[in-house]
Amino acid sequence: MVLFYFLLKGDYPWPASLTWSALPSEIDKAQDWLLEQRTAENPNIFFAILDGFRAFADWLVTALLNFFEWLTWVGTVAAGTLFVWRFGGWRAGLIVLAAFVSFALMGLWEESIQTLALMTAAVLLSLAIGVPIGIYAGRNDRFLRGITPGLDAMQIVPAFAYLMPIVILFSVGPAAAVICTLIYAIPPAVRITALGVRNVTAESVEASQAFGATPVQTLFKVQLPLARRQMLLAVNQTIMFALSLVVIAGLIGGRGLGDVVTNGLYSNAALALLAGIAIVIMAIALDRATQAIAERTDPARRQLTDEGRKRARKVTLATFAGIAAVVLIARALGADAIYPDEFETSTSVYEANIQDTILGWIQSGLDYVQDPDSLIFQITEPLGNFILKNFLEPLRVVLVESPWFVTLGGLTLIAFVLSGMRPAVTALLMLATIGVIGMWDPGMDTASQVLVATAMAVLIGIAIGVWAAESPRVEKLLRPLLDTLQTLPQLVYVIPFIYLMPVSRVPGVIASVLYAIPVIIRLVTAGIRSVPPAAVEAAQAFGASRMQVLAKVKIPLARESIMLGVNQGIIMVLAVVVIGGLVGSGALGDLVARGLQRNEFGLGVVASLAILALGIALDRVTQGRRVTRDDVPDRGPMFGLLKRRRQVQPGGGAV
């Protein structure tokens, strides 16, 4: 490949004869048609149905918001805390309480409650749609196989691409934001539910059939109860995925924290960062609360006696009575619907939050980062240039300027060697698609960035992952950090790097590395932890040192997990491509962003398709030979991850 590169450099760009150049304008026409239909005098029945759904989603979000306001802010805190305390234990209750307090102190109460209402509505609808589909898919392999590519597409195609059609169909406001979120949050709900139902052992199902149970009875009395843990995991993951769309929802009238992030970026970066932190706090609180509830209410663990059950019921009643009492008292005393900006006593007025103080801290941090004379800048600027000169640019040049058939053949060959025949064919088809839709150059540019980012993420991720597996203390310390990296909007943590590494493409790469390492670390840690103790003991008996055990036994045996980490890392990196476009990475991300912002809609869609094709191609190149014949659905990106998550706790460290 290298030889070809030097011989034929730049001579064979993707041929125009193999390009469908009219595609973007065709897609533009489709959008115009949609707009015309939407504004026509007599909208057809299809739009009436959509309007109905829109009205319902709008109503749901507004109702939830009104409910929180009706509770008053005191009541909302009490209801959330006591509810979680009752079903999830005091620790989870305290976390929820701390989250509410921090929203209030940050002066972002109203925005947080708006986001909470939006997310609650989106999660409820995602589950209402996703769980039944998941149950059906869990009982029907063919159906699952059929919908898997669709689910992959829903997760990989950047939301920017379908924002405008959604706005045309559902207008702006809560409904549009909810629907946008649904597209991203339904796939995990479907997948985890399906996995849960599938994993119920055949023996249990056969036993129930032997006792003459009907299929419906088998489902409700055997399969669903046994899949309970998995279903609660589905709830947890749906929440996490939904939260990652908060910022995008802000662009189409979703209000709340997402709004503060996007607009803050232009006029007040410190405020944008603060709102990002609020999103992280909300994500962590919801994650811990749902996890705790899932564990505490697990009947298999509780083993309640009749007596205990009666008591539990009384405690529950007492909790709800307590909540009701707090709400009524708060309302009677005239507590505000939303947390006030200041408290008034008869003599003086107090600021009710410390937003200005916190913003001052963040701003001084930003000022330091923005100062080109600072020590850190002296280190990061050359580092950024180094990454650009030695990795990004050479790889881009090789991928873009090699003759197209060499790049295509080379990547296919790598897929064949690493993963086998079928993945190689898929990779070939996907890469060819990128060329045909006219996205070869930007596609390969993006590919070079994705590969560099993945390589960096894998190196760092494996090193830290191994360390965390060896030391539970490190793992414990890492957990909040990893949670933050996964839930902080990428648009937020890319900010410091724009200043610290002022070279286009590099901040985007760093942002994707940061987004991808948590998954890799978790998979590597879980993989090494699951190495059978017998193997380790045997090596130790032969006098192997700790490093030897690690290098010769643990890491080789955890190879599959590590490979999965690489594979998942790529998918996570791809999720940041569009954000990269907003901070100078150019290529596909830039085109997608432009598609929405300058209304080159067709171009944006085509670039998004290229991202999808690239994602599938790179997934196949790196998936390794882990696919076994009877493991059919274990193909799509994310699926393997979710499967692993039975060992890796949702949003957290290994069990």
Partner 1 sequence: MKTHRHMWAVVMALMLALSVAACGEEKDEPSGGGDGGASAGKDCGKVVLNEQAWAGSTANTYIAKAVLEDELGCEVEVTKIAEIPVFQAMADGKVDAVLEDWQHTDEYAKYIDKAGTVVQGGPLGVEGHIGWFIPKYLMDANPEFETWEGLKGKEDMFKTPESGDQGMFLGGDPSYVQKDKELIKALGLNFKHVTAGAEPAQVARWTQLYKQEEPVLFYWYTPQYLNQQYDLAEVKLPPREEGSDCKDDAKEGGDPEQYKCEYDITVINKLFSKKFADSGSPAYDMLKKMKLTNEDQELVAKAIAGDKQDPEEAGADWVADNEDTVAEWLP
Q: CB of 356: closest distance to partner 1 in angstroms? A: 9
69/560 with CB nearer partner 1: 69
Contact positions with partner 1 (CB under 8 A) in 269-288: 269
167 contacts partner 1 (rule: CB under 8 A): yes
The span of 140-148, 369-377, 476-484, 541-549 binding partner 1 (CB under 8 A) equals: 369-377
315 contacts partner 1 (rule: CB under 8 A): no
- For the chain, the distance separating the N- and C-terminal CA atoms, rounded to the nearest angstrom, is 44
Q: CB of 541: closest distance to partner 1 in angstroms? A: 45
Structural contact between residues 380 and 372, judged by C-beta atoms closer than 8 angstroms:
no
269/406 with CB nearer partner 1: 269
Instruction: Select from 12, 143, 320, 467 the one that contacts partner 1 (CB under 8 A).
Output: 320
Tell me 350's DSSP state: E
51/560 with CB nearer partner 1: 51
141/295 with CB nearer partner 1: 295
Q: CB of 342: closest distance to partner 1 in angstroms? A: 13
413 contacts partner 1 (rule: CB under 8 A): no
| Size of the chain, expressed as the number of residues it contains | 655
89 contacts partner 1 (rule: CB under 8 A): no
Contact positions with partner 1 (CB under 8 A) in 17-36: 32, 35-36
593 contacts partner 1 (rule: CB under 8 A): yes
Q: CB of 62: closest distance to partner 1 in angstroms? A: 7
Per-residue 3-state assignment (H helix, E strand, C coil) for 524-590? HHHHHHCCCHHHHHHHHHCCCCHHHHHHHHHHHHCHHHHHHHHHHHHHHHHHCHHHHHHCCCCHHHH
The span of 160-168, 347-355, 400-408, 630-638 binding partner 1 (CB under 8 A) equals: 160-168
Please identify which residue in the block is written with the tokens 């993963």.
419
DSSP labels for 23-67? HHHHHHHHHHHHHHHHHSSS--HHHHHHHHHHHHHHHHHHHHHHH
Instruction: Select from 5, 14, 83, 440 the one that contacts partner 1 (CB under 8 A).
Output: 83
Count CB neighbours of 203 within 10 A.
8
Q: CB of 484: closest distance to partner 1 in angstroms? A: 22
64 contacts partner 1 (rule: CB under 8 A): yes
Contact positions with partner 1 (CB under 8 A) in 33-52: 35-36, 39
What 3-state class would DSSP assign to 654? strand
Render the burial of 590-602: b for 16+ CB within 10 Å, e for the rest: bbbbbbbeeebbb
Instruction: Select from 424, 583, 614, 654 the one that contacts partner 1 (CB under 8 A).
Output: 583
CA dihedral 52, 56, 62, 67 (to 10 degrees): 150
225 contacts partner 1 (rule: CB under 8 A): yes
127 contacts partner 1 (rule: CB under 8 A): no
Which DSSP helix (H) or strand (E) runs through 342?
Answer: strand 342-344
504 contacts partner 1 (rule: CB under 8 A): yes
Please identify which residue in the block is written with the tokens 């589909």.
133
Residue 386's Cβ-side half-sphere holds a number of Cα atoms within 13 Å equal to 6
310 contacts partner 1 (rule: CB under 8 A): no
